Chain A
Amino acid sequence: MPAIADRADVYLERFNDALARAAAEPTWLLERRKRAMERFLQLGVPSLKHEEYKYTDLSALADGQLLFATRPGSAEAALPSYVAGGASDAGPQVLGRVPQGARVQSLAEALRAEPDLVQRHLATIADYEDHALCAVNTAFFSDAVVIQAERGAVLDEPIQLVFGDGPQGSLPRVLIVAGRNSSVQVVETYAGSGAYWRNAVTEIHAEENARVDHYRAQVESLDAYHTGRLQASQQRDSYVSSFSISFGAAVARNDIGTRLNGSGCECSLDGLYAVRGDQLVDHHTSIDHAMPHCNSHQLYKGVLDDRARGVFNGKIFVRPDAQKTDAVQSNKNLLLSDQSEVNTKPQLEIDANDVRCTHGATIGQLDSEAAFYLQSRGIGANRARNLLTYAFAADALERIKVAQLKEHFESLLLNRFASQES
């Protein structure tokens, strides 16, 4: 594919710089970076012809300009209130104190302190062999945040990471390792200003009976591209939940996946997206039921206004040995304008027989009778629409367990339409 190779020249050029910068890294990591680069050169930035990207046009990213020539602008103004004042130049800001039993380190620190653990998990969970964007991150990321929850540690407060205009800039990388019987909550917030491409990868490793609650709040600039991959690997009896909030970015693409490697695992992948103008938000999820007696739950809700487009593709794989699997998936969309568009594809691939899998997808509009009823009770048209939109999203919002986060996005939805009464 010469056309892709040509356009990837800038990537190749930059890769030599990146390698020079990373010269101090251990060999295994450099090998992984080189392999990722090799795969990226073969795969290229996915085009619309790629089945997984058929509704999401990423051609603007192909030449690498947006990644290398621009960076996220100052996020100060764009930051949601719950993390205001959090982003700094010093790197991804950890808000507040780090709870007892947890460690939050930079890549260099973690490589010094726990080289084996990093080697075991970094760039082994998120697959760069088949995913070009993940390969880009793996090849180029300059620093990573490594979060560890000690064995048996139950962290009482969430660890909050803010990705603004700091040095990790366009290529944030996070590794979360939850030890046996631990429980950890992590909130990642992405915000910036101007036009840029942020390509984030987060890997989660949940040991036996660990619990990880992960939140990703994406409120990027409306001129930005945001692509993110969250991949978890679960040992037996572990629980991983992911909540993806997408309100920002011109084009947002989230790939969220987990692999249930032991029996008795549970996972819950949920999301809420509300977009307007010409925004596009795309969620691709993948739950790989590799072992028996696991449950998975997915609920994605979308609110689309103006000319916004929503894409959802949820995949549930049930491998031949994964008997007694119980998987539920649901994607519900609310179209608020004539030109908004939704493409949804809930997908089941089942190779075991003793399972219960269901999926559902709905697309609809606000109930005009309900709106009329509210108005007849003296509630203005806009307020009625806000209330009904909020009501639509409420069961997804309920799944956010971090109070400040929930309140922030609740109020965003409740004040979606100008509240002046007509």
Chain B
Amino acid sequence: MSSAVEQIEGLTAQEYKYGFVTDIDQETLPPGLTEDTVRFISAKKEEPEWLLDWRLKAFRHWQGMTEPTWPNVSYPKIDYQSISYYAAPKSADDKPKSLDEVDPELLATYEKLGIPLEERAVLAGVAVDAVFDSVSVATTFREKLADAGVIFMSISEAVREHPELVRKYLGSVVPPSDNFFAALNSAVFSDGSFVFIPKGVTCPMELSTYFRINAMNTGQFERTLIVAEDDSYVSYLEGCTAPMRDQNQLHAAVVELVALENARIKYSTVQNWYPGDKDGNGGIYNFVTKRGACRGKRSKISWTQVETGSAITWKYPSCILIGDGSVGEFYSVAVTNNHQQADTGTKMIHIGKDTTSTIVSKGISAGVSNNSYRGLVKIMPKAEGARNFSQCDSMLMGDRCGAHTFPYLEVRNKTAQVEHEATTSKIGEDQIFYLNQRGIETEDAVSMIVNGFCKEVFRELPMEFAVEAQKLLGVSLEGSVG
């Protein structure tokens, strides 16, 4: 054990690999949040009247709300007036038409992250709508997608070019008054992605957005909206890394998914924001509202997430299963180390007949971190023949970490079949020993065991992500085990 403890210390002492700051002039709003801030953001983005009204309404609602205290996390009180709510790269006015026109320093940032935009785009066939802080600076493969009829653009562009679509769906899944952070996001959201897959179209490539948090003290308020019409399919990847920083940063994103009849949406996330140093200083606060509505018959929404970063993660990707026979899935790996805290899980609301949901959650806690699973499975009275299976496993490494599960099962229909099971255990010493005596170093053994533990989730990830996820898991955990 003692040598393992030393290893933990050696490895957890590793500095955050992806911590650096890109030096680009930014047009940044001074800290503070008033109605004028909302108006400024809206004006800056040349938004129509209805959107400004929508934002203001959300803002007024937000003012009357209080920050939730029920999550199993603790952090110093956030001063919402000390945050700057808008930052955009200066070159925003003349947007680059292709990668060549993109600020080379930006591209270098992606290089450093190991996500070479053009290479990835070309080789992997992935269109990347890279969000550098608040404004989308590069969008590739737009034409190819346009040929298929797929709309993939930043949400502010979409407001200009497809106002009718945005107006119809924006806030229809996560209403502006939904919760404290969703209301805040609705008031000040800076940018995000908009995806529209028309009827019968299978999106020809996997769509991807890379988020970066770059400006000092700037909260990032992403807004993502994905609409899949009848019989369509899309797979969307979201991944993020952030520069090293001392001050806590707030990230309050909202993601809305709408699936109509027979549509399928697959939403995958790899989250690796700066988790703070090993003493728990700094790190991102990740307070996200993600929700998908399966509105049509036999529609399907699948969430897959690998959460390794952030000082505090607080998110519950959910599915509202309205259409008969619709399917919701949630696959999650959440890793916490050092002083990280994660309170994450899902909600499956069964409303339609014969709806099915699957929840597989793997929590791994190391160091002095706390990892909570919090989930709700609700079967409404009309949901005949609903079926749910949940499995939440936790693995504990180190004797000062915590694993918690809070599953809520609410069933109001007798034809429902709901199963929930959870286990919590230590990483198997005998397994490590076995691998050791086969000549495998402890470190590699741990990596193998953990990867095996998470396999059910990883195999749900698209190819491109699965590799990255395994790497991330390695970086986050290697050696933090005894």
Residues of A within 8 A of B (CB): 51, 320, 323, 333, 335-365
| Min C-beta distance of A375 to chain B, whole Å | 19
**Known A335-B411, A338-B381, A350-B404; contact A360-B422, beta-carbon cutoff 8 A:** yes
**Are the C-beta atoms of B423 and A358 separated by less than 8 Å?**
yes
Q: Does B299 contact A (CB under 8 A)?
A: no
Q: Does B417 contact A (CB under 8 A)?
A: yes
Q: Which residues of B contact A340 (CB under 8 A)?
A: 412, 414
**Are the C-beta atoms of A360 and B402 separated by less than 8 Å?**
no
**Are the C-beta atoms of B422 and A358 separated by less than 8 Å?**
yes
CB under 8 Å from chain A, chain B span 372-410: 381, 394, 396-410
Q: Does B95 contact A (CB under 8 A)?
A: no
Q: How far is the CA of A349 from the CA of B421 in the complex (A)?
A: 15
**Are the C-beta atoms of B414 and A335 separated by less than 8 Å?**
yes
Q: Does B50 contact A (CB under 8 A)?
A: no
**Known A342-B409, A343-B408, A344-B409; contact A350-B421, beta-carbon cutoff 8 A:** no
Q: Which residues of A contact B417 (CB under 8 A)?
A: 362-365
Q: How far is the CA of A349 from the CA of B363 in the complex (A)?
A: 13
Q: Does B103 contact A (CB under 8 A)?
A: no
Question: Would you list the 9 A-B pairs with minimal beta carbon distance, nearest first?
Answer: A335-B414, A353-B396, A357-B424, A360-B421, A363-B418, A361-B420, A351-B402, A348-B405, A358-B423
Main SS class of interface, A: strand
Residue in B70, B398, B414 whose CB lies within 8 Å of A353: B398
| Min C-beta distance of A271 to chain B, whole Å | 17
**Are the C-beta atoms of A353 and B397 separated by less than 8 Å?**
yes
**Are the C-beta atoms of B420 and A353 separated by less than 8 Å?**
no
Write the B345-381 contact mask toward A (1 if CB under 8 angstroms, else 0).
0000000000000000000000000000000000001
Interface centre among A323, A341, A350, A362 (most CB of B within 10 A): A350
| Min C-beta distance of B83 to chain A, whole Å | 30
| Min C-beta distance of A48 to chain B, whole Å | 14
**Are the C-beta atoms of B404 and A349 separated by less than 8 Å?**
yes
**Known A358-B423, A361-B420; contact A349-B414, beta-carbon cutoff 8 A:** no
Write the B64-102 contact mask toward A (1 if CB under 8 angstroms, else 0).
000000100000000000000000000000000000000
| Min C-beta distance of A350 to chain B, whole Å | 5
Q: How far is the CA of A51 from the CA of B71 in the complex (A)?
A: 12
| 10 A-B contact pairs sorted by A residue (CB < 8 Å) | A338-B381, A340-B412, A342-B409, A343-B410, A344-B408, A345-B408, A348-B403, A351-B400, A358-B423, A358-B424
| Min C-beta distance of B118 to chain A, whole Å | 45
Q: Which residues of A contact B401 (CB under 8 A)?
A: 351, 353
Q: How far is the CA of A346 from the CA of B377 in the complex (A)?
A: 13
Q: Does B34 contact A (CB under 8 A)?
A: no
**Known A338-B381, A355-B425; contact A320-B400, beta-carbon cutoff 8 A:** yes
**Are the C-beta atoms of A355 and B412 separated by less than 8 Å?**
no
Q: How far is the CA of A365 from the CA of B420 in the complex (A)?
A: 15
Interface centre among B398, B411, B417, B425 (most CB of A within 10 A): B411
**Are the C-beta atoms of B406 and A347 separated by less than 8 Å?**
yes
Q: Which residues of A contact B404 (CB under 8 A)?
A: 347-350
Interface centre among B408, B410, B424, B425 (most CB of A within 10 A): B424
Size of B's binding interface in residues, CB under 8 A: 34
Q: Which residues of A contact B405 (CB under 8 A)?
A: 346-348, 359
**Are the C-beta atoms of B407 and A346 separated by less than 8 Å?**
yes
Q: Which residues of B contact A364 (CB under 8 A)?
A: 416-418
**Are the C-beta atoms of A346 and B420 separated by less than 8 Å?**
yes
| Min C-beta distance of B385 to chain A, whole Å | 10
Q: Which residues of B contact A323 (CB under 8 A)?
A: 399
**Are the C-beta atoms of B411 and A365 separated by less than 8 Å?**
no
Q: Which residues of A contact B412 (CB under 8 A)?
A: 339-341
**Are the C-beta atoms of A360 and B420 separated by less than 8 Å?**
yes
| Min C-beta distance of A115 to chain B, whole Å | 42
Q: Does B413 contact A (CB under 8 A)?
A: yes
| Min C-beta distance of B372 to chain A, whole Å | 9
**Are the C-beta atoms of A350 and B403 separated by less than 8 Å?**
yes
CB under 8 Å from chain A, chain B span 318-367: none
Q: Which residues of A contact B396 (CB under 8 A)?
A: 350, 352-355
Q: Which residues of B contact A363 (CB under 8 A)?
A: 409, 411, 416-418
CB under 8 Å from chain A, chain B span 404-458: 404-426
| Min C-beta distance of B157 to chain A, whole Å | 43
Q: How far is the CA of A362 from the CA of B417 in the complex (A)?
A: 7
**Known A348-B404, A350-B404, A362-B419; contact A356-B409, beta-carbon cutoff 8 A:** no
Q: How far is the CA of A333 from the CA of B416 in the complex (A)?
A: 11
**Are the C-beta atoms of B410 and A342 separated by less than 8 Å?**
yes
**Are the C-beta atoms of A51 and B424 separated by less than 8 Å?**
no
**Are the C-beta atoms of A345 and B394 separated by less than 8 Å?**
no
Q: How far is the CA of A347 from the CA of B405 in the complex (A)?
A: 5
Q: Which residues of B contact A339 (CB under 8 A)?
A: 381, 412
Q: Which residues of B contact A344 (CB under 8 A)?
A: 408-409, 420
Q: Which residues of B contact A356 (CB under 8 A)?
A: 423-425
**Are the C-beta atoms of B402 and A361 separated by less than 8 Å?**
no
**Are the C-beta atoms of B403 and A361 separated by less than 8 Å?**
no
Q: How far is the CA of A350 from the CA of B392 in the complex (A)?
A: 14
Q: Which residues of B contact A338 (CB under 8 A)?
A: 381, 413-415
**Are the C-beta atoms of B414 and A337 separated by less than 8 Å?**
yes
Q: Which residues of A contact B402 (CB under 8 A)?
A: 349-351
| Min C-beta distance of A360 to chain B, whole Å | 4
**Are the C-beta atoms of B414 and A365 separated by less than 8 Å?**
yes
| Min C-beta distance of A290 to chain B, whole Å | 15
CB under 8 Å from chain A, chain B span 225-272: none
| Min C-beta distance of B194 to chain A, whole Å | 37
Query: Given A338-B413, A347-B406, A364-B417, 7 more contacts at CB 8 Å?
Result: A323-B399, A335-B411, A340-B414, A346-B420, A347-B407, A357-B422, A360-B421
Closest to A55 in B: B410
Q: How far is the CA of A323 from the CA of B482 in the complex (A)?
A: 15
Q: How far is the CA of A347 from the CA of B394 in the complex (A)?
A: 13
Q: Which residues of B contact A320 (CB under 8 A)?
A: 399-400
| Min C-beta distance of B56 to chain A, whole Å | 30
Q: Which residues of A contact B426 (CB under 8 A)?
A: 353-355
**Are the C-beta atoms of A350 and B422 separated by less than 8 Å?**
no
| Min C-beta distance of B339 to chain A, whole Å | 15
Q: How far is the CA of A350 from the CA of B419 in the complex (A)?
A: 22
| Min C-beta distance of A42 to chain B, whole Å | 19
| Min C-beta distance of A325 to chain B, whole Å | 10
| Min C-beta distance of A43 to chain B, whole Å | 18
Closest to A356 in B: B425
Q: Which residues of B contact A336 (CB under 8 A)?
A: 414
Q: How far is the CA of A353 from the CA of B396 in the complex (A)?
A: 5
Q: How far is the CA of A222 from the CA of B45 in the complex (A)?
A: 64
Closest to A357 in B: B424
